[in-house]
Structure 1
Amino acid sequence: MKRRSLLSALLASSLMLCFASASADEPLVGKLVSTGSDTLGALTSIWAEMLTARHPRVSMQVRAIGSGAAPTALIQGTADIGPMSRPMSPAEISAFTRKFGYQPTAVPVAEDALAVFVHRDNPLEVISTAQLDAIFSGTRRCGYPRAIRDWGSLGLAEHWSHRVISVYGRSAASGTYSVFRRQVLCSGDFAVYLNRLVGSSAVVRAVAMDENGIGYASAGYLNDSVKRLRVVHDDGVEEAVLARRLFVYINRPPQTSIDEVTAAFLDMVFSVEGQREVSRLGYGALDKAELVKLRQDLGLGDA
């Protein structure tokens, strides 16, 4: 009798181990929706493809409509991931906190530079931040004495001297718009004649087709159809660095683990392959030390 009981116990134990092993080997199943930054749109789409290739039973939808859409989508629960090319504003964080009782989790995923560019046939090479403010802004808070509306005001001669500058930029929902406004316009207001376009690629295309055009966008979107300008401070010598961090925001209650599907996505972002795509698209990858710390902070384990 005792022997039969022992055999039954061993059989039950073996079955439990088998079930545990089968459970551990079960494929990841789920769906993710990403709503937010256009700047991060291409990268997020690539990461989504990598995620679904690794986990075929996971689907991911990417809506790249501007950073301003991310907080609303997270608050309304229509998105799991909110890519943003700027930090959330205090008002956006406050709105999220009122809804959930805790703040959203900001996860840095890459570094980016803003670029200012003109048509490839434009002879201009260098421009100062104050001159940019005088071109793009109606308030000129950076101190330039007058508005700049033609290329002659920037020293271009001959047939360029009387040409009116066409000004292109992003819409107000864009994180790129907000960062440029803060870093270049001294937090002033954009001029009413700014052509506001949806997407950095649209700004690049517009300037490429307009000899009188000047625009700004994420450096990762530039190509040979436009010419990037060297941006300097008012002294005309020291280079002005227009840089920012790119984020993914998630809704993570305090003292809880990230859900498996979101964790798998972030694991892909922080992988060697994921960060290699960051560099390939012209952005700055995160350094190894930060990647290790992010994994620890988010409970993702070792790479």
Structure 2
Amino acid sequence: MMTHRTPLLSLLVLGLVSALPACKRSESPASSDSSPKDEASSSPKPGGGKAVTVKGSDTMVILVQRWAEEYMKQNPGSPVQVTGGGSGTGIAALVNGTTDIATASRAIKDVEAQQVHARFKTEPKEIPVAKDGVTFYVNEASPLTSLTVEQLRGIYLGDTTNWKDVGGPDAPIVVYSRENSSGTYVFVKEHLLQNADYTEKALTLPGTAAVVNAVSQEKNGIGYGGAAYAKGIKELKIKVGADEVAPSQENILSGKYPLSRPLFFYVRGEPSEAVQKFIDFALSAEGQKLVSQVGYFPVK
């Protein structure tokens, strides 16, 4: 783990504007409600220097885009390019030397860290930049408000296939999941499924926004993703004993919510001045305020 401080250039975000989903948190002003894409967050600005590249977690794209846009306003002319593709894709780009910063919603694996070292003779540095709670979504018409970790595990392993078995209606459960390059997919597999395989009946979708959209249209659906995406669907609380624990800021920062997790930046060794300056902005009071506005939770 590391703490990074250094000045940086500025930022320019290339590519397609991916609109941000409106935030569900009371302190979170709404952005736009389109889904994020595997593209940069804003159009090119003339006169920019070499872009700082940020690639990886689809969960984090909406947040990094906001950081990039605000940072660019303060530092015009120095580009930062933001793309998604999944945590695994971002870390692979870090290993291949094709991104300056990898974003990940799960920790880097030992084999990935070894690959970085083998190629660049330096260790990857891990920087927690926000917190999240993996949230399970059901259709707004569902009568359910909470499930236990064990009930969620049964659904995603395929042992539980009818909602009536967990207190819902007599109807088949339609299970939605993320692709295996997703850090959220890996986190759920490790922390909920205890490294067992997902049910073969799970329908794999390319991003959290796609999962939310599917659940919003399928009355018997269930899916999962980052807390910032919960719009047009119902968030399930997790039942812990007699309590129903919501993925709220208080519960996530305290660790009471069972599926709380950090969101990371990864860099190779000591970052350049330009890269460090962007990291410093993300961790600044202003940057952490944007974390809350997007719908995630600050690291401090």
TM-score relative to the length of structure 2:
0.77
The alpha-carbon deviation at position 238 of structure 1 amounts to: 7.0
3-state SS, counterpart of residue 58 of structure 2: coil
Distance in 1 of aligned mates of 2:167 and 2:61: 37
Distance in 1 of aligned mates of 2:146 and 2:72: 44
Alignment match, 2:204: 196
Matched pairs, number = 243
Alignment match, 1:222: 230
Distance in 2 of aligned mates of 1:236 and 1:154: 16
Alignment match, 2:261: 244
2:158 paired with 1:151: no
Alignment match, 2:35: none
Q: Is the 8 A contact 1:31 1:261 kept in 2?
A: no
Alignment match, 1:94: 114
> Matches of residues 274-285 of structure 1 in structure 2 within 5 Å?
274-285=287-298
The alpha-carbon deviation at position 102 of structure 1 amounts to: 2.2
Distance 1:177 1:84, change over 3 A: same
Q: Is the 8 A contact 2:57 2:84 kept in 1?
A: yes
The alpha-carbon deviation at position 237 of structure 1 amounts to: 4.5
Task: Give the alignment's Cα RMSD to 1 decimal.
Answer: 1.7
2:193 paired with 1:176: no
Q: Which amino acid letter does the alignment assign opposite residue 187 of structure 2?
A: V
Segments of 5+ residues of structure 2 without an aligned counterpart are 1-46, 246-256
Q: Is the 8 A contact 1:86 1:175 kept in 2?
A: yes
2:278 paired with 1:265: yes
Distance in 1 of aligned mates of 2:48 and 2:273: 8
Q: Is the 8 A contact 2:52 2:274 kept in 1?
A: yes
The alpha-carbon deviation at position 89 of structure 1 amounts to: 0.8
Residue 231 of structure 1, aligned match among 238, 243, 268: 238
Segments of 5+ residues of structure 1 without an aligned counterpart are 1-26, 139-146, 288-303
Distance in 1 of aligned mates of 2:136 and 2:293: 20
2:216 paired with 1:208: yes
Residue 147 of structure 2, aligned match among 114, 127, 145: 127
Q: Which amino acid letter does the alignment assign opposite residue 241 of structure 1?
A: P
Q: Is the 8 A contact 1:35 1:65 kept in 2?
A: yes
Q: Which amino acid letter does the alignment assign opposite residue 206 of structure 1?
A: A
The alpha-carbon deviation at position 194 of structure 1 amounts to: 0.8
2:57 paired with 1:37: yes
Runs of 4+ in 1 over 4 A off after TM superposition: 235-240
Q: Is the 8 A contact 1:28 1:261 kept in 2?
A: no
3-state SS, counterpart of residue 115 of structure 2: helix
The alpha-carbon deviation at position 43 of structure 1 amounts to: 0.9
The alpha-carbon deviation at position 184 of structure 1 amounts to: 1.2
Cα deviation 1:146-185 (Å, max 9, x = unaligned): x1111111233xxx31x11100121111111111111211
Cα deviation 1:243-279 (Å, max 9, x = unaligned): 00000011125xxxx3121022112112222111101
Q: Which amino acid letter does the alignment assign opposite residue 37 of structure 1?
A: S
2:101 paired with 1:84: no
Higher relative contact order structure (alpha carbons within 8 Å, sequence separation ≥ 6): 2
Q: Which amino acid letter does the alignment assign opposite residue 189 of structure 1?
A: D
Cα deviation 1:111-132 (Å, max 9, x = unaligned): 1111112100010122111111
TM-score relative to the length of structure 1:
0.76
Q: Is the 8 A contact 1:128 1:236 kept in 2?
A: no
Alignment match, 1:6: none
